[in-house]
A = this chain, B = another copy of it.
């Protein structure tokens, strides 16, 4: 008998039949002897409907009032699922973000969770009830209704699981787990039974859009075992936890990638300690995320400074960099918005020094040129021309034998 937090996303509660199917799943979990807290999103489409409605009144509605409006979506689904559970003879009670005292800061539309009180939750659980909680929402300390932003329901679920010290936080979604790479690119991609938080963070941030990165960080921080499962298909999904819990430890867990990269280089800037900050501060001020950064000293008191941004930010970043170029009397700004990033990810690689070599050889054998390389303890990323992305992913997936189950290592 375990305490499980199950989160069902918008497509999982997208219509009457699906909500009834969730009720059946919850009932089955309860009958298997587990305590269950369910966290729900709004029905898919509902959030967009409400946003469109708001726009009829105000082109730029305040974030505070948008939060008041949008939180009705989850409040609706928790009531409906509770009714469906009652109909199946399951004792259940709905609770809003406020009712579980999910306290956040005051950043409307992207609030951060400060605290979850468990007293009310524990009371209902102890009395044998399924508690059906509205995800995505909370209350600020000044008693305003807040929302947690994109993927907020995942974050709610993890926060509740952490506060309750739940045995597992199960994220039901429309994919059945985390794969070695995107199956649309490599049909031989294999579902992973388990993966570490660190690997998942690298996979998620690099474009494997299964879980919101924020909820993975949160789960890692509070050591909440996280499981990704399909709402529509049976199966064990993928368990995300710390390495210690893994029975097997393959060198490489997967190949992640990001199509939408752009690269900018400011060449011939004075090689001084403050120069990186001078280049990046206007970029940061414009709210543009910077990813891979390389500074290459030329030995003549000059340096080339290169970084990547999301392709959507390319034009704006170029403009800002031209201003910097003039100010610093650098040589020129060069850019390329036709590039993609490919990464091999795996906690096993740190004690297998041959990984980088194998990666570079594999890409070289396919005639794929690497524009830039970045490494961390559990990841090696390279930039390649966009047109080579799929080829690179497939070649690396094969080279690291990801299509077959790894053999157990000690």
Q: Is the CB of A75 within 8 A of B86?
A: no
Instruction: Give the distance in Å from the alpha carbon of A374 to the alpha carbon of B69 in the complex.
Output: 51
Q: B20 to A57, Cβ gap below 8 A?
A: yes
Name A59's closest neighbour in chain B (CB-CB): B87
Residues of chain B lying within 8 A (CB to CB) of residue A50:
76
Chain B residues near A61: list those with CB within 8 A: 83, 86
A57-B16, A65-B94 known; A143 vs B99 contact (CB < 8 Å): yes
A68 touches B57 (CB 8 A): no
Name A17's closest neighbour in chain B (CB-CB). Answer: B56
For window 30-86 of A, CB contacts with B under 8 Å fall at: 50, 53-54, 56-59, 61-62, 64-66, 68-69, 71-72, 75-76, 78-84, 86
A219: CB under 8 A from chain B?
no
**Which of chain B's residues have a CB closer than 8 A to the CB of A5?**
none
Which B-chain residue is minimally distant from A144 (CB atoms)? Answer: B99
A214 to B86, CA, bound (A): 32
Q: Is A120 an interface residue (CB 8 A)?
A: yes
Q: Which of B71, B83, B143 contacts A65 (CB 8 A)?
A: B83
Query: Which of B68, B79, B87 is within 8 Å of A68, CB to CB?
Result: B79
Q: How large is the interface on A (under 10, 10 to 19, 20 to 34, 35 or more residues)?
A: 35 or more
* Most-contacted residue by chain B among A50, A58, A64, A120 (CB, 10 A): A58
Which of B59, B65, B78 is close to A79, meaning CB atoms less than 8 Å apart?
B65
Nearest CB on B from A22, distance (A): 11
Across the interface, which residues of B come within 8 angstroms of A23, CB to CB? 57
- Given the known interface contacts A75-B72, A99-B143, A120-B143, the answer about A54 and B66 at a Cβ–Cβ threshold of 8 Å is no
- A79/B96 in contact, CB under 8 A: no
Residues of B within 8 A of A16 (CB): 53, 56-57
A19 interface hit (Cβ, 8 Å): yes
B58 & A69 in contact (Cβ 8 Å cutoff) = no
Shortest CB distance A12–B (Å): 15
Q: 6 tightest A-B contacts by CB? A: A69-B79, A72-B72, A58-B83, A68-B79, A57-B83, A57-B84
A sample of 13 more A-B contacts (CB under 8 A), given A58-B86, A68-B75, A68-B94, is: A16-B56, A19-B57, A20-B57, A57-B83, A57-B87, A61-B86, A66-B79, A68-B78, A72-B76, A75-B75, A96-B145, A98-B98, A120-B143
